[in-house]
Homo-oligomer: A and B are copies of this chain.
Amino acid sequence: MKKTAQIFQALSDETRLRVMKLLQERELCVCELIQVLEMSQPRISRHLSVLKNAGLVNDRREGKWVYYSLKKGAENDDVKPILETISLVANDDSVVRNDNKNLKKAVRLSEIEGCCSSRKRG
């Protein structure tokens, strides 16, 4: 009950919904999210920690970077319909569309010259 409320609470913020939509595309590190969403680092980190505490995302460190991804699997089956709902958030939503455009750009840049100073992507 409390847990469910917490999950909804985590998703009740537009920034965090945008993060969830982006993570549906691919795993992303914090610095990529900063680029795509054009927000300050502490702000992004804080939102990510809310999502993490709600059990909606996973994080793993790889060198200097921390990668976030949607949490999937058995332990999280009750979250599936919620993720479906987020999927339904219109992809024709202008904000989401723009985020996806920025994401492609960020990934392209990171492949050419590395984003966030000098990272190369696997």
Contacts and interface: CB of A to CB of B under 8 A. Distances in A.
Instruction: Kindly report how many copies of this chain are found in the complex they form together.
Output: 2
A93 interface: yes
Interface bracket on A: 20 to 34
A62 interface: no
A75 interface: no
A5 B1 contact: no
B5 A8 contact: no
Contacts of A2: 14
A116 to B, nearest CB: 26
Given A78-B88, A82-B81, A12 B5 contact: yes
21 contacts: A1-B89, A1-B90, A1-B93, A4-B86, A4-B89, A5-B11, A5-B12, A5-B13, A5-B14, A6-B12, A8-B12, A8-B17, A9-B12, A11-B12, A12-B12, A78-B85, A81-B81, A81-B85, A81-B88, A82-B82, A85-B85
